[in-house]
Amino acid sequence: MSKWYEDKTCDEGIVISSRIRLARNIKKYPFPEMLSKEQSEEMIKTLKEALINDRLPIAKDFEYIEVDSLPALNKRQLMEKHIISPELVSKNKPCGVLVNKDYSISIMLNEEDHVRIQTVFSGENIDKAWDLADKIDDVIEESVEYAYNEKYGYITACPTNMGTGLRASFMMHLPFLEREGQMQNILNAVNKFGVTIRGIYGEGSEALGSIYQVSNQVTMGQSEQEIIKNLKNVVSFIKEKETKLREECISKSKVDVEDNIYRSLGIIENARKMSGAEAMRHISNIREGYILGFKDLPQLKETIYSVMINIQPGNIGIADGKAVDVNKRDELRADYLRKVFK
Amino acid sequence: MSKWYEDKTCDEGIVISSRIRLARNIKKYPFPEMLSKEQSEEMIKTLKEALINDRLPIAKDFEYIEVDSLPALNKRQLMEKHIISPELVSKNKPCGVLVNKDYSISIMLNEEDHVRIQTVFSGENIDKAWDLADKIDDVIEESVEYAYNEKYGYITACPTNMGTGLRASFMMHLPFLEREGQMQNILNAVNKFGVTIRGIYGEGSEALGSIYQVSNQVTMGQSEQEIIKNLKNVVSFIKEKETKLREECISKSKVDVEDNIYRSLGIIENARKMSGAEAMRHISNIREGYILGFKDLPQLKETIYSVMINIQPGNIGIADGKAVDVNKRDELRADYLRKVFK
């Protein structure tokens, strides 16, 4: 079963993927921060039972992963595949994730909130992601009573999620805006529409490989449909800016654009060691080349975005099941990339 | 007829080539600096007649180039091929060079001194270069009276050449000493033996591509044989240092050495524009790979050193017989290198 990021759609345009996240809490339990070990276990059990049943046909595909009992390396791998959040990686209490086979659904239990429903699809598929998340949400609500207030909406551990508990986001590849130093302008512009831009692994993470998560900041005072519609408009605006700038750069100096792409290809095909940040930069450049339709680039079996995931430290830095040191990791990364781009 | 720098010997080791230069002046003329146009022409005529005659069998191969009447671009090309000096490029008086077919002999007339005899061979062939220069010197002396003083030896325009008028030099490729920041130490050490180190195009030029000219600084108080013998010892010392450091670097981290070489190859094979300095750096790295015996490097038709000459601004920056601007030149250089390293 291939994963959502192995779908060719995520290589086809500026938008790599679309994601919905819903934050929910169960009325009868305190927030995860305040839960004892026993309460956590009970709460998780309740949620698992609410989800794995006949009312949700997709639930037969779910696998439950007890995250807190995993070795650090495996937690990191799940995070790099966008299955769990950095928050869940560092959690010390019982916690876990229900994940389906293509990783399009992952439901974190006992994260910052009791439930974090996440749905993600390659390309521009936010409506599809919303419909699926909404359905999962309904199924849970049939079994448990959510913490909900008529005036404020869904109650969440952090006030920034109150109301809808919705974070809709698009993962976007913005190499030209980044290179031309325009990301700050874009950020200022979209902030006015209640939208924010984060790095590839969410809040506080770097924008490795010119990849940015564009998501709604405001969760209250608007319906879910309004939030998604507004975000789509902002994403269209950013896409237009990136496309226009790309055309400008090409018309100003095509050879500079080409030089940048082919140099990255040459380095990727030949280097014997490479840091993650450097690799992301080169893969990003080569992705540009595919988007521009350059015919002489190697045809990959993998999607670009799955290569980006595969070279992250947790996924690449393993030999014989164990994490290796950073030097060895940089070698394994270069070896893998030479093979992929052969 | 192939040129000395097209001989495979110049790619085989640390020493690329060996050169002898003799500075001579004719007694009856003032130094070139003081010569009128008419005197310059007369002096040049005298020297040409002294050289192009039956006593010097090789003279039948000589071509005389009237350097002062050449366009700037062509002067620059001759300089890049080591046929004339930067001094002759900027000369405003009548001046020229007698050059043979493989460029192993070039005799500059009316440079800083009346005569500058230069002989150069690929690899470690300083004795061969000396024998040839000495023979040419003898032939000239049969026809003209040199400015010579019993106490000081040959009189030259610049006191640093007085005595023997000899500059013996080895062109050396020293990537490891350079990268590890040891060139200043080496320079300090060899200075004590009356030897100096300059860049690829002699005095005041940069050490592009980790290439250095190692030559005697002292021209007086020693015989030509002693100067050459001393220089050979110093060159052996530098070779040993470079070789030892290379081995140390490989034993410390072979992957770093390889990474550096293959990255340069990847860039050379793919870039769409490249400055001369960057190109020299990459070619230097790839040369290292050949020296280390890496089997999967492309097999060139050209020697590495002739590629280094061919990418210099005057030689690469021409389209339809005219010099192009620096941007176009960087593109032509990248195009040429992609073709050579295919």
Dist. CA B19–CA B140, nearest whole Å: 19
pLDDT in tens, B185-225: 999 999 999 999 998 766 666 678 999 999 999 999 999 99
Contact B162, B221 (CB under 8 A): no
Q: Does residue B189 lie in a domain region?
A: no
When computed from its CA atoms, the radius of gyration of chain A, rounded to whole angstroms, is 21
Contact list in A for residue B272 (CB cut-off 8 A) is 255-256, 258-259, 262-263
Q: Please state the separation of Cα B146 from the chain's center in Å.
A: 26
pLDDT per position as a tens digit, B133-184:
999 999 999 999 999 999 999 999 999 999 999 999 999 999 999 999 999 9
CA B285 to CA A201: how far, in whole Å? Answer: 37
Angstroms from B182 CA to nearest CA on chain A:
25
**A277: in domain:** yes
Residue A270 and residue B258: Cβ atoms within 8 Å? Answer: no
A60 touches chain B (CB under 8 A): no
C-alpha span between B198 and B219 (Å, rounded): 16
**Which residue, A214, A203, A212, is CA-closest to A126?**
A214
ipTM surpasses cut 0.85: yes
**Minimal CA separation from A132 to chain B, in Å:** 45
CB neighbours of residue A41 within 10 Å: 14
Low-confidence stretches of chain B (pLDDT < 50) are none
- Sheet hosting strand A195-198, strand order edge to edge: A63-65, A96-99, A105-109, A115-122, A15-24, A166-173, A211-216, A195-198
CA-closest candidate to residue B271, choices A102, A63, A269, A115 = A269
Asked if A263 is an interface residue toward chain B (Cβ–Cβ < 8 A), one would say yes
CA distance B98 to A52: 92
Tell me, yes or no, whether A322 lies in a domain.
Answer: yes
**Which of A270, A278, A332 to mutate against chain B (most B CBs within 10 Å)?**
A270
Q: Considering only alpha carbons, which residue of chain A is nearest residue B264? A: A267
Residue B292 within a domain: yes
Cα A118 off chain centre by: 10
Mean pLDDT of A178-189: 93
Closest Cα of chain A to B312: distance in Å?
A: 20
The minimal CB distance from B258 to the residues A255, A263, A272 is found for A272
pLDDT for B54 equals 78
Q: Which of A258, A267, A282, A324 to mutate against chain B (most B CBs within 10 Å)? A: A267
Residues 6+ apart with CB under 8 A from B50: B139, B140, B142, B143, B144
- In whole numbers, what is the pLDDT of chain B averaged over residues? 94
Note the pLDDT tens digit of each residue in A127-155. Answer: 999 999 999 999 999 999 999 999 999 99
Q: Which among B250, B252, B253, B259 is the top mutation candidate for probing chain A, defined by the most A β-carbons within 10 Å of its own β-carbon? A: B259
Sign of CA dihedral A245, A249, A251, A255: negative
Which residue type occupies A339? K
| Distance from the B253 Cα atom to the nearest Cα atom in chain A, whole angstroms | 11
SS (H, E, C) chain B: CCCHHHCHHHHCCCEEEEEEEEEECECCCCCHHHCCHHHHHHHHHHHHHHHCCCCCHHHHHCEEEEHHHCCHHHHHHHHHCCCCCHHHHCCCCCCEEEECCCCCEEEEECCCCCEEEEEEEECCCHHHHHHHHHHHHHHHHHHCCECEECCCEECCCCHHHCECCEEEEEEEECHHHHHCCCHHHHHHHHHCCCEEEEECCECCCCCHHHEEEEEECCCCCCCHHHHHHHHHHHHHHHHHHHHHHHHHHHHHCHHHHHHHHHHHHHHHHHCCCCCHHHHHHHHHHHHHHHHCCCCCCCCCCCCHHHHHHHCCHHHHCEECCEECCHHHHHHHHHHHHHHHCC
Q: Where are the alpha helices (DSSP H) in A192-301?
A: 224-252, 254-270, 276-291
**Chain B touched by A325 (CB under 8 Å):** no
Q: Is residue B14 part of a domain?
A: no
Asked if residue B252 lies in contact with residue B151, where contact means CB atoms within 8 angstroms, the answer is no
Check: CB of residue A272 under 8 Å from CB of residue B258. yes
CA distance B101 to chain A (A): 38
Does A271 lie at the interface with B, CB-CB under 8 angstroms?
A: yes
Count the residues in chain A. Answer: 342
CB within 8 Å: B265 and A270: yes
Pick A272's closest partner by Cβ from B262, B272, B331.
B262
Give the integer Cα–Cα distance in Å for A288 and B338.
21
Residue A259, in any domain of the structure: yes
| Contact residues, chain B, for A269 at CB < 8 Å | 266
Q: Looking at the complex, report in whole angstroms how far the Cα of residue A314 sits from the nearest Cα belonging to chain B.
A: 22
pLDDT at B204: 63
DSSP bridge pairs for A318 = A323
Instruction: Flag whether pLDDT at A232 surpasses 70.
Output: yes
- pLDDT classification of A203: cutoffs 50, 70, 90: low
Angle at CA of residue A122, ends A319 and A250, nearest 5°: 95
Q: Do B265 and A265 touch (CB under 8 A)?
A: no
CB of B335 within 8 Å of any CB in chain A?
no
Dist. CA A303–CA A204, nearest whole Å: 26
Domain count, chain B: 1
C-beta atoms of B272 and A259 within 8 A: yes
Q: What is the pTM of this model?
A: 0.91
CA angle A115, A154, A139 (to 5 degrees): 50
* Residues 171-190 (B) with a CB less than 8 A from some CB of A: none
Please give the Cα distance from A148 to A114 (Å, whole number). Answer: 13
> Is B118 within a domain?
no
The pLDDT of residue A145: 96
Nearest to A270 among B266, B271, B334 (CB): B266
Question: So what's the pLDDT on residue A137?
Answer: 96
Domain limits at B278?
Answer: 253-340
Chain A residues touching residue B273 (CB < 8 angstroms): 255-256, 259
With respect to residue B326, please indicate whether it lies within any of the assigned structural domains.
yes
Sign, CA torsion A201/A199/A119/A8: negative
Q: State the pLDDT at residue B214.
A: 97
Q: How would you classify the pairing of strands B166-173 and B153-154?
A: unpaired
Q: What is the pLDDT of residue A205?
A: 65
- Which chain B residue is nearest to residue A262, measuring alpha carbons? B270
**For residue B265, which residues of chain A lie inside 8 Å, CB to CB?**
266, 270
What integer pLDDT is reported at residue A204 of this predicted model?
63
